[in-house]
Chain A
Amino acid sequence: MRSNKVGWWLLAPTLAILGIFGILPFIYVLYLAFHQWNPFGANPEQVFNGANNFRRLVFDKEFLLAIWVTLKFGVFAVASEIVIGYFLAQLFMREFPGKGFFRTIHTLPLIVAPIVVGSIWRLMTTPSVGIIPFYANELFGIDINIGRDAGTAFLFTVIMDIWHWTPLVTLTLLAALLSLPKDPFEQAQIDGASRSQIFWHITLPMIRPAILATVFIRLMDALRTVDEVWMLTGGGPGAATRYLGLHIWKVVFPKTDYGYGAAISVIVLYLTLVMCWMLYVGLVAPRNKGN
């Protein structure tokens, strides 16, 4: 009985912080999502409007486009990061000259603030100023203009995200690979398994939890990316890189459409949960069932 009380007291600070900074704001956002509220409207007061904000979402082309481009961005960026991250992790499993130096350099992007990452990439990609358009033109005769070409702008937001976050994936997968027991691999080699067989039937299943956790984290991050993209393209050209996070920011802050912005936030949270649940069901549940 006494130990229960001590446990609650010990948990209390965490619960209080979670309640104040997590649950209360969420309840407030949920409350706002059912109101029309623009402080610069003719009526600046909050007016209850039922589910109208959610109804409006369904017909909002900008919002639907933002979902589509965000999903594309998430899939391309996260898939690339997992593949590149895995190969880099495998590379770091081996010994080679300058390994420590390379690993340090490779990890540096992780400590750079997203807004700075955006600024760096903007400087590198601005036509007439950046080194990327310059060398693309000098060496290959390609004109790169992220201000005018939607595909190029999208590509560079993906590359920027890969540059920034692949080290996180590498470190996570490296930790997973280093923790694997050696026995199954030795037995497979004795039995004459090929490298691809070992990868598909031993390595991949054994590091699947780490991959899944990384995918969850990176996907959630990708769905709410704002600062890097805001700095690089401002969401343009047009709406080509107006990802959900940026879209919400524009609706809530410059446009001050707080009620509608709250509704979008709630829906995005719901979508994120659904996607993670689908991933979980698709990748983890069958395995547990098999076990």
Chain B
Amino acid sequence: MRQGLKAGASALILAMLAGAMPAWADFWSDAGAKFKGVTLHGVTESTPPSNYIKDVLAPQFEEKTGINVEIETTSWDQMYDKAIKDMEAGTGIYDMVYIEQDIIYAYLARNFLVDITKTLKDDPSLKAPTFDEAKFTTFADYFKNADGDLFGVPMEAFIKVYLYRTDLFNDPEIQAAFKAKTGKDLKPATTHEDYTQIAEFFTEYGKEKGLDLWGTTSQAHTGHPASWYEFFESVAPTFGVYNWGINAADNYGASVEHGGTMNSPEAKTALKYLLHLRDIAPPESAASTWTEVATTFAAGRAAQGLVYGENAAWIASDPDQSKVVGNVGVALPPLEPGVLEAAEAGKGYIGYYDGGAFGLPVTSKNKEAALLFMQYIGQDEVQGPWAVAGSRITNTATYDDPAVQELDKKLGGYFTMLRDQGKLFAGAPPYPFHAQVREATAPIFYEILTGAIEPDAGLDQMAAKAEEELTNLGYRK
């Protein structure tokens, strides 16, 4: 009897699923029918994940819905420039804009974006059955408001990791030379002291052997915000200086005098550490942004370095672009004592959790059609190949994809690290004045890099400048 009931229930479920399947399969064509011929315009940064949207996901969506999608991929600066101008002026050129995690707070403060959760709730006919906000990783939390509503569909997320050359680190001859020189075993550094010793060793080793090899990469451009980010988002947190050293809870103080840590002893030590590494990094470092750091590592010119995760996949697996395929190891960034414990306790973080989402501007003229596209790129089924192409994961289901698991092995466990230890990293602090404070303080930072200002005095000046800017903007009273 029970067997019969079970069989009956199974048959009923199967019948319901069979009935539902065609509806799911047809959802895109049905939902897209009323927008057929509409052309959606999106703007995003030219990165591997964005290019995948442009080259693969957009054409797929067009085929299924009849809605045209034009994705403009451009430089980081231009992407912001175009999106902000469009939303500020209300011209409605773009139906989708890339929102980097660090700018979301500014966009929310200006009410630039459509509440995706609410809109889909208000109009269930737009809701794709295969789109589920709950499937996103915790990175999606950065794109939610206080009520938990989503304002952007996460499309890329990476952690800035410590990459090292396994071929060099595992070479017995090099290991012996390192041991003889430092008395230590050669293994990925866990402390700044170890990292510095390894970097110094390989720079000297390269010089002695006449190789184009240096001990570390360094993102130290003297006129581009990349170097500023390297310090505040990647290096300073590993010394226990969080949120750029600005204390939002204490009237946005930046200087130690006013409750901040931007010019704290820890920040000053961190800056000197960065400057020393820059001095023993390849000569192109003074003109390197995040892109050049990745190409420097891929060219086999550095033994180790902090590299944005979005580049990890091609560095480790694409022989057309990288000379170090199969020789890349991944580890957590080197830290000061106590920083890891603080991160595990949720009181700090050890590095940068980078990424972005596709948002829908309130000025868009094709909101419903754009929402369909954004749900399309948020479904489970498109995630696996996208992760392989762009080393990005924003959906928990992606980790189980066999192709992703295969790539994870080549990447030395990068995806596993993202899943298991991603929580130790953090995105930019929730400041609506992100670009403003950065631009106010960056010129001083560039002067520090050139040596025109001493690091200690420079950080004092930057803290004062940050407070001045925050006062001008009306945040600091």
Contacts and interface: CB of A to CB of B under 8 A. Distances in A.
Contact of B109 (A40, A256, A257): A40
A39 B212 CA distance: 47
A251 B450 CA distance: 22
A254 B77 contact: yes
A241 interface: yes
A250 B288 CA distance: 19
Nearest to A125: B287
B211 interface: no
Nearest to B106: A40
A172 interface: no
Contacts of B287: 122, 126-127, 145-147
A45 B266 CA distance: 38
By secondary structure, the B interface counts as: helix
Nearest to A239: B443
Interface stretch (B177-185, B306-314, B433-441): B433-441
Interface in A228-244: 233-242
B443 A44 contact: no
Given A126-B284, A238-B443, A255-B439, A42 B473 contact: yes
Interface stretch (B63-71, B80-88, B151-159, B354-362): B80-88
A143 B284 CA distance: 12
B207 to A, nearest CB: 14
A129 interface: yes
Interface in A123-138: 126-129, 133
Interface size class of A (residues with CB under 8 A): 35 or more
Contacts of B88: 39
Nearest to A127: B283
B276 interface: no
B223 A236 contact: yes
Given A38-B473, A40-B473, A145 B221 contact: no
Contacts of B475: 41-42
B282 interface: yes
Nearest to A231: B75
A150 interface: yes
Contacts of B436: 38, 40-41, 255-257
B432 interface: yes
B409 interface: no
Nearest to B288: A147
Most buried by B among A38, A41, A126, A133: A41
Contact of B474 (A43, A150, A250): A43
Contacts of B392: none
A54 to B, nearest CB: 16
A238 B452 contact: yes
Nearest to A36: B472
A257 B435 CA distance: 11
Interface of B: 77, 80-81, 84, 88, 106, 109-110, 212, 220-225, 282-288, 292, 301, 432-433, 435-436, 438-440, 443, 446-447, 449-450, 452, 472-475
10 closest A-B pairs by CB: A236-B223, A147-B286, A42-B474, A234-B223, A237-B222, A147-B287, A236-B222, A127-B283, A255-B439, A41-B473
Given A147-B222, A256-B84, 15 more contacts: A38-B436, A38-B472, A41-B436, A41-B473, A42-B475, A127-B284, A127-B287, A234-B222, A237-B286, A237-B450, A238-B222, A241-B223, A242-B443, A253-B81, A255-B440
